[in-house]
Structure 1
Amino acid sequence: MPGDLITFFDNKVKEYNQPSFIKDDPISIPHQFNRKQDIEIAGLFAAIFAWGNRTIIINKTKDLLQRMDNAPYDFVKDHKQTDLKNLLGFKHRTFNDTDLLYFVHFLNHHYRQHKSLEDAFAQHMTKEDRTVEKGMNGFFNYFFSLEDAPARTQKHIASPEKNSTCKRLSMYLRWMVRSDNHGVDFGIWKKIKPSQLICPIDVHVARVAYRFNLLNRRQLDWQAALELTNYLKKLDKNDPVKYDFALFGLGVVEKF
């Protein structure tokens, strides 16, 4: 990439990676909380729901959290069977209350043994891994390891093994892992390195990537996500996914 284009992308990162970005984005949901576990859980649901209109995504996630008394960690950890009635009837696109009840069941199971949701990914990785691929595959298998896991819920958790772009999980990991002084991403997970992250890719990001010759692969799958991220590592090997701000801003906000 020519130097002037690198400057252009760096400037776009600065333009969108700032607090004013938060209010209209699903990342605004976990920003309503201070406790690490609340941020993790609220962020997971906001990311899993993140397809389609951003306003609807935000409102649906707020609806869910209100059903949990806006205390998601306390709810998943301490709920009684009768409390689960509050979740019945919840629906966002193809995600319904069957999926939701299993998510709560898994989170309850996980937090009984771990203090952070980071371990659900990091326990499958080493510091030497080039990417979070093993962490994502391990998370999928761990998530659905409980005996009553509904088959229908599998479509809501992507994995590289299934050759998905894993856009929503990649975005979630960006939120939790990336750390800078701009106040958007949280940087509360330390066992995974920013250099291991994969850039979230969808049709909007891909359109911008094609336009600037950052991506050749035409099929939007895990290999495309790897190819794009490998290019971005040429620009910043330690923090390639910061360019998600530029690609998203150009593609979704500016309709580039």
Structure 2
Amino acid sequence: MPKSSKDALRALCRRRIAVLLTSDSDPSEFENQIVRLVKENLDSGRFARVASARAKHHPLTLAKYVDRVIFHTRYEQARLRALAENNSTEWNRLRDSLYRHACRMTSHFRQGSEAYTEAFDFAQQTCLVILTQRYPSDVSFDAWAITILKNQVLAHYTRSRDVLNQPYPPDSFDTQDSEDGIANSLDEMIADRQSLAPFEKIENQLLLLDAIAQLRSVAQQQVIIWTYLDQLEDAQIKRRLYKSRQDVYNLRWRALARLKKILTKAS
């Protein structure tokens, strides 16, 4: 990357950090981290792949992509630190989560106790892979880890090509018909005084981040992040959660109702 391009990227990251972080935060170290992550994702072609997977009516600009990296880096930093420090509680929590997802996957290929045994092996293997991989910070850590898990399962059962960067999970993992689900952007939600008035009071993503963290379940947190921050279609979200489109709708409705209460109380 030419020096002028590097300088422009750093300037962009600095501007976005200034908007999204609180004024009492020291952004220097964080800025270097964000610049490094975004540059690596640009150089590897990951940004191009993520952008191509977005809905056409919500194109992903570099500035919006930087915002995503900032958000997920802040949101996941405690967990990443714990994993890096070999915190057994955090690793066990991750393995248990992967095991539950793996059970759903292996049930397509195996039956009974054999499916559960292989699911546990896949969860363990995925944890080992995560140790050697760089988290790109442009999607939630759970989504990234589950995609690695799918890669392990497919490599074992079908010898298919690497799906680590594919935008959609394989159809064999979700037999329900796909339906188009067009979600409003977070900007549109904030501007909508009738449906989500409390969002108007969000002046930076840290307040939203704190509110999301207070949601009752991980699934509610994921559906909000994937809908309004990653701006995924409902068809993609239901595949990731292994739920029906109606389940996704219900999860989002309950999560938004809870967010309204949290944000209203915070104000």
Q: TM-score, normalised by structure 1?
A: 0.26
